[in-house]
Amino acid sequence: MKALTLPCLRKNTTVFVFFCCLAFCALPAHAQEDKVTLERAESLEKHPNQPNVKKLLRQVVVKHKGSVLYCDSAYLYEDRNAVETFGNSRMISDNGTTLDADSMFYDGNTQKARAVGKVVFRDEKTTLYTKTLDYDLATGLAYYMQGGKIIDTEKTLESRQGTYDTNSKIFRFQDKVVLNSLTEQRKIETNDLTYNTFSKLAFFQGATNITTKDGKIYTENGTYNTESQISNFKGRSKIEDKNYLIEADTLYFDNKNEVGFAQRNVVMLNRKDSLVAYGDRAWVRGKEGESKVYGNALACQVSGAGKDSLWIKADTLHAINRDKDSVRQFFAYHHVLIFRRDFQAKCDSLVYNKKDSTLRFFKSPILWAKNTQLSADTIWAQMDNNKLKNLYLRLNSFMISEDTLKNYNQIKGKNINSYFQQNDIRKVEVRGNGESIYFALDKDTLMVGMNKSACSGDINIVFGEKNQLKRITQISNVDGKFVPPQELKDEDKKLRGFMWFDDLKPTREDMTVLRLPKKIKAKAKEKEAKGQ
C-alpha cells in the first residue's frame, strides 16, 4: 500500500505547490493595481514619526486605477492606501472629468476624494465652482454642501447644496437654487431642482419661479425644458405673459410657440379684455390670439369697480383677439347664462363682436332688463360705454313687463326694436303683426282698465320716466279696445304665446365655479369688487 500511495502523494503535492507558486507570483501584480502609486516626484522623504508615510515634493504625480493626481507636494499613506495633496492639486479621472483645488485627500480603498479650497470640477461642457467637493470615482457622484456655481456655454446655476452624476449627466441642486440663462433672458428660482444636461430638462419639487422676457411661471412640481422652453407642471401652477394668465392644477405651456393647455380648476385672465375665465380645462394659442375654456366654464368681464361686471356661464367659452386683422370676438356655447346688475340673459349660444359692441343671442334666447322680459328666435344687444343701448328682437318677438300691481304689459310682433337710456326703455318699435296689452294705472296703485290692440302693420311705443307708458302709435288696420276692470277676464289679460320665465332668470349666486378651491373663489370675488 505504501509503495502505491507515496508516488501518488508526491505527484499531487508537486502540482499543489506549482499552483500555489503561480498564485503567489500573481498577487503582487493585482495588489499593485489596487495601490495608490507614486509615478513621479523631484524629492521623496520619509516621515520622521510615521514610517508608512512618504513626503513627496515638487511636480508630484500619483496614479490609481486610471486616475492621475498632480500637485506641488503630497503625503503618501502607504498603509492606508491614500494620498493627501497640497498646492495646485489636480485629479484627472479615467471618465474624462478633472478636479482642481488647493488641496485634496484621496482614499484608494474607497475611491473617494475630497477637494478643498477654490475647487473647480469640469466635465465636458460643464464647470462647477465651489469651496469643498466630495467625489466618489467608483459611482461617478460628486457633491458639495457649502455653496456652488455651475457655468456652461448656455447658463449659470447657483445653489447651497448639489449633487452631480457624471454617468447620467444629471445634477440635483437644493437650497436657494438660481439658474440664469446666458443666451436668453430667463431665470429660475427654487429650492429643489434636478437638471439633465443631455435632455436640458429641469425637474422641480417645491415652490419654483421662472422669469422669462415674455412672462412668469410659478409651479410646485413639474418639468421645464431650458432649450425648447416647454413646461409640464402638476400641482397648483401659474403661467402669465403680457396677454394672458393661466392657473390650474395641471399645466402645459410651449413658451416659444405661445401654446398652453390647462386642466382642473382652471383660472385664465385675458388682459386685453379684462376677462377672467374659470373652468375644468382650457387652452391658449397666443400667436393666433385664441383661447378656450370648457367644462363648467364661467367668465367675468370686470369694469366699473366691479359694479358693472358681466358674468357669462356656459359649457364652452371661446375668445379671439387678433391684432393683425382687428378681430375681437367672444363665443359662448350651450346652456348660456348671463348676469349683470342691470340685465340678465339665457340662451343656447352667444357671440360678442367688440368692433360693433354687439351681443348676439341664439336659439330661444330670453333677456331680462329690470322688470322687463324679452324673448325671440334671435336677439341682438348693442352696448355703448358698457351700458345697454339697443335691443333687436328677430322673429316671434315678445316683450313682457310687470307693473306695480303684478299686471303684465305685453308687446308682440314679428320683429321688435327697443331703445334704452341709462338702462331704462325709452322707445319700442314693433315691425309686423303688432299686438299689445297695457294696463292703465292711477298713481301706480289702482288699475283703471286695460288697453288691448292688434294691427297688421307696426306699433311705436314711447315711454317716460320709470318706464311709464306715454304714447302708442299703431299703423295699418288697427283693432283696439279699452276694457274696464270689472269686465276683465283672466284669458283676456294675456296675448297668445305668453310665458313668464322669472324663475329662469340668472342670479349672481348662479355664477359660481363648482370645483374651484374656496381660496381662489374668494380671490376672484375680491378682484371683482376692486375692478381688477
* 3-class secondary structure, 502: helix
Q: pLDDT value at position 480?
A: 82
Q: pLDDT value at position 159?
A: 94
Asked if residues 352 and 340 have their Cβ atoms less than 8 Å apart, the reply is no
Residue 94 pLDDT greater than 90, yes or no:
no
Asked if residues 510 and 314 have their Cβ atoms less than 8 Å apart, the reply is no
Confidence of residue 133 (pLDDT cuts 50, 70, 90): very high
C-alpha cell at 93: 479621472
Q: pLDDT value at position 85?
A: 94
Residue 28 pLDDT greater than 50, yes or no:
no
Q: What is the pLDDT of residues 141-192, one digit of tens each?
A: 999 999 999 887 777 889 999 999 988 888 899 999 998 887 777 888 999 9
Residue 259 pLDDT greater than 70, yes or no:
yes
Quick one: average pLDDT of 275-289? 88
Q: Does 526 or 181 have the greater pLDDT score? A: 181
Query: Where are the extended beta strands (E) located within 35-81?
Result: 37-40, 43-46, 53-64, 67-77
**Which residues in 493-513 are b (16+ Cβ under 10 Å) and which e?**
bebeeeeeeeeebbeeeebeb
Q: pLDDT value at position 400?
A: 94
Q: What is the pLDDT of residues 325-366, one digit of tens each?
A: 778 889 999 999 999 888 899 999 999 988 888 999 999 999
Residue 239: CB partners within 8 Å, gap ≥ 6? Answer: 215, 216, 217, 218, 231, 245, 246, 247, 251, 253, 260
Strand-pairing partners, residue 209, are 189, 218
pTM above 0.85, yes or no: no
Q: For the residues of 83-103, what is the DSSP string, one character each?
A: EEEEEEEEEE-TTS-EEEEEE
Q: pLDDT value at position 321?
A: 81
Confidence of residue 371 (pLDDT cuts 50, 70, 90): confident
Asked if residues 278 and 247 have their Cβ atoms less than 8 Å apart, the reply is no
Lowest mean pLDDT among 272-281, 456-465, 479-488: 456-465
Q: What is the pLDDT of residues 59-83, one digit of tens each?
A: 999 999 889 999 999 999 988 999 9
Confidence of residue 466 (pLDDT cuts 50, 70, 90): low
Q: pLDDT value at position 18?
A: 37
Q: pLDDT value at position 231?
A: 87
Q: pLDDT value at position 514?
A: 53
Residue 501 pLDDT greater than 60, yes or no:
yes
Lowest mean pLDDT among 16-20, 201-205, 301-305: 16-20
Residue 532 pLDDT greater than 60, yes or no:
no
C-alpha cell at 141: 457622484
Asked if residues 282 and 261 have their Cβ atoms less than 8 Å apart, the reply is yes
122 — phi, psi (to 5°)? -120, 135
Q: What is the pLDDT of residues 100-118, one digit of tens each?
A: 999 999 999 999 999 999 9
C-alpha cell at 479: 283693432
**C-alpha torsion 354→358→359→364, nearest 10:** -150
442 — phi, psi (to 5°)? -105, 110
Confidence of residue 513 (pLDDT cuts 50, 70, 90): low
Asked if residues 252 and 261 have their Cβ atoms less than 8 Å apart, the reply is yes
Residue 165: exposure state from Cβ atoms within 10 A (0-12, 13-18, ≥19):
middle
Query: How far, in whole angstroms, is CA 58 from its chain's centroid?
Result: 59
Q: What is the pLDDT of residues 305-330, one digit of tens each?
A: 556 788 999 999 998 888 777 788 89
Q: pLDDT value at position 5?
A: 33
Q: How much of the chain exceeds pLDDT 70, in percent?
A: 88
- d(CA 405, CA 522) in angstroms, rounded, equals 39
Determine the Cα angle at 280 with ends 275 and 282, to 5°: 55
Q: pLDDT value at position 24?
A: 36
Q: What is the pLDDT of residues 40-54, one digit of tens each?
A: 888 888 877 777 889
Domains in the chain with CATH codes: 34-146 (2.60.450.10), 365-500 (2.60.450)
Confidence of residue 399 (pLDDT cuts 50, 70, 90): very high
61 — phi, psi (to 5°)? -130, 125
Q: How much of the chain exceeds pLDDT 90, in percent?
A: 42
Q: For the residues of 104-163, what is the DSSP string, one character each?
A: EEEETTTTEEEEEEEEEEEETTEEEEEEEEEEETTTTEEEESS-EEEE-SSEEEEESEEE
Average pLDDT, the chain: 84
Quick one: average pLDDT of 280-289? 88
Residue 406: exposure state from Cβ atoms within 10 A (0-12, 13-18, ≥19):
exposed
Confidence of residue 1 (pLDDT cuts 50, 70, 90): very low
